[in-house]
Structure 1
Amino acid sequence: MNYSPQGFTVLPPVVKNLLFLNVGVFIVGFILQMMYQYDISDALGLHYIGSKGFKPIQFISYMFLHANLEHIFFNMFALWMFGNILENFWGPKRFFTYYMATGIGAGIIQMIVAYIRIQSIQSQVPADVLEVIYTEGVDILRQNKNFIAPLYAELNAIVNVSTVGASGAVFGLLMAFGMLFPNSYIYLFFALPIKAKWFVLGYGVLELFSGIRNTPGDNVAHFAHLGGMVFGYILIQYWRRKGTYL
């Protein structure tokens, strides 16, 4: 191992700054929503690349937005829980690189899955409806409305509902923890011990199953979670082959 941390820190700098940034953006977004009815995810959430709301910077900015208090709480708890161990192990530069790479990777996978699903649906949707979805669909959703036909409604949601959250990067951290500390115990519900390697494997299978099942009303980006894990696995294997650690 080429890197040796200079003592363990409970709240290392990158984790601390990420926590502050995520919470700060959440508070700003809440204030804008309450005072001006402006949804910050319209500008910074990750939109489908074919929608009128897409901007390349969203591959980064979406990681710092969260849908609600529960969403940000569990993501930030996991960021602290796994991130403080990994940053102490890797150091701040490598940890930050890994975190951003897995978050961006999760967004890329989410975009690919959305593209595949859209291509399978579009052929079943009339051209005039497609035009409405791509030009006016986001305005329809802002009024808390959608198409009555389930297929049209699904396509409109895929094209015009943005993805938000640090979950992809957090799942990348989970993958790293499982690979680097496979026999460490994670306590489910703070009581049931399970080895990290089995927890990661089980969670990955669950996310894959949930993503394939595609339950109506399920707003969780399961394939983005898997994308964070996949990019994390690839990056760690790359570092191992280079011999930069372990």
Structure 2
Amino acid sequence: MIPLRALLYRRGTPVMTLLIITVNVLCFLFEMAQPFYLRESFIARYALIPDQPHALTFISSMFLHGSLLHILGNMWFLWVFGSHIEDAMGPAKFLLFYLISGIASAFVQFIVYFGSPIPTIGASGAIAGVMGAFLVLYPRVRVVTLIFVVIFVTTVDIPAAFMLIYWFAIQLLSGLGSLASISNAQGIAWFAHVGGFLAGILLIRLFREKRARYQYR
């Protein structure tokens, strides 16, 4: 399932969401501009590596991505859900919320895979926090979603609660399954997604405006 847009009114231009996307894209371009023989050391310096923890990497790792598909997927999810969460709390609070969610997700990944030498990169943990916030604020909002059924592709309007809980269940079950082969199961940081999502659920009450907008369309 790929979300295309939420059927929810947005008050204005989501400036901070666009800024975060821009920064991520610029970081990715800089990363890809590194000579191939230096790229691995560049990622190792700024990625979160559980057996070599540095405070800076809990933040820097969320601005690195491993491939074009990786960053495109993350930035698309951020746009679909983040633009509405920014609308609910304002740009400054949204930036703080995003960063805290990302740090929380990295911390969970660090704890679960403590001692692992495998680098963790990507914005998906922070974006998972945004998705958790969306679940709390707008569970009944319908999300236009692209669905693949065998060889057919169609779109359906799915309640956000169903889509996001389904997504979270996949992350949790996949993460638990990956623990059976922890040495080589970190192609996807499942527990970063789980940690970020739960952080978003817990934090949103502190960050949203008291009169958050609930105008559906």
Q: Same fold (TM over 0.5)?
A: yes
Shift of 1:84: 1.2
Deviation at 1:9, TM superposition (A): 2.5
State the partner residue of 2:63.
64
Q: Which among 147, 153, 174 is matched to residue 210 of structure 1?
A: 174
Name structure 1 gaps, 5 residues minimum: 1-6, 119-158
Match of 1:221 in 2: 189
Deviations along 1:158-206, one digit per CA (max 9) or x if unpaired, are x222100000011111111111111111222161221111111111111
8 Å Cα contact 2:139-2:160 kept in structure 1: yes
Letter in 1 for 2:199: F
3-state secondary structure, aligned to 2:39: coil
Go from structure 1 to structure 2 and tell me whether the alpha carbon gap of 1:33 and 1:8 turns closer, same or farther (over 3 Å shift): farther
Q: Is the 8 A contact 1:63 1:103 kept in 2?
A: yes
Task: Measure, in 2, the Cα distance between the counterparts of 1:83 and 1:238.
Answer: 17
CA distance in 2, matches of 1:26, 1:238: 31
RMSD over aligned Cα atoms: 2.0
Q: CA deviation at 1:244?
A: 4.7
Q: Establish whether residue 109 from structure 1 lines up as the match of residue 112 from structure 2.
A: no
> Residue 196 of structure 1 aligns with which residue?
160
* Closer/same/farther in 2, CA of residues 46 and 245 from structure 1, 3 Å limit: farther
Partner of 2:128: 171
Q: Once the two structures are superposed, what CA deviation does each residue of 1:116-164 show, in whole Å capped at 9, x if it has no partner?
A: xx5xxxxxxxxxxxxxxxxxxxxxxxxxxxxxxxxxxxxxxxx222100
1:1-246 to structure 2, matched below 5 A, reads 8-10=11-13, 12-34=14-36, 36-39=37-40, 40-48=42-50, 50-51=51-52, 54-115=53-114, 159-189=116-146, 191-214=155-178, 218=185, 219-238=187-206, 244=210
TM-score (norm 2): 0.81
Shift of 1:245: 5.4
1:38 is paired with a residue of what secondary structure?
A: helix
The answer on whether the counterparts of 2:48 and 2:57 sit within 8 Å (CA) in structure 1 is yes
Which structure shows the bigger proportion of residues in helix conformation?
1
Across the two proteins, how many residue pairs are aligned to each other?
A: 191
Where 2:143 maps in the other structure, the secondary structure is strand
Higher relative contact order (CA 8 A, sep 6+): 2
CA offsets 1:4-33 (integer angstroms, 9 cap, x no match) = xxx8234x2211211111011101111114
Q: Which is higher, the Rg of structure 1 or of structure 2?
A: 1
Residue identity opposite 1:65 in structure 2: L
Letter in 1 for 2:83: N
TM-score, normalised to structure 1, is: 0.72
> What amino acid is the match of 2:38?
Q
Percent identity over paired residues: 30
3-state SS in 2 of match to 1:194: strand
Residues 52-102 of structure 1, C-alpha deviations (whole Å, 9 max, x = no match)? xx3210000001000100000010111111111111221111111110110
In structure 2, C-alpha distance between the alignment counterparts of 1:163 and 1:207, rounded to whole Å: 16
Aligned to 2:215: none
Report the Cα distance in structure 1 between the residues aligned to 2:121 and 2:199, rounded to whole angstroms. Answer: 18
Matched AA of 1:14:
M
Q: Aligned to 2:94, what secondary structure does the other structure show?
A: helix
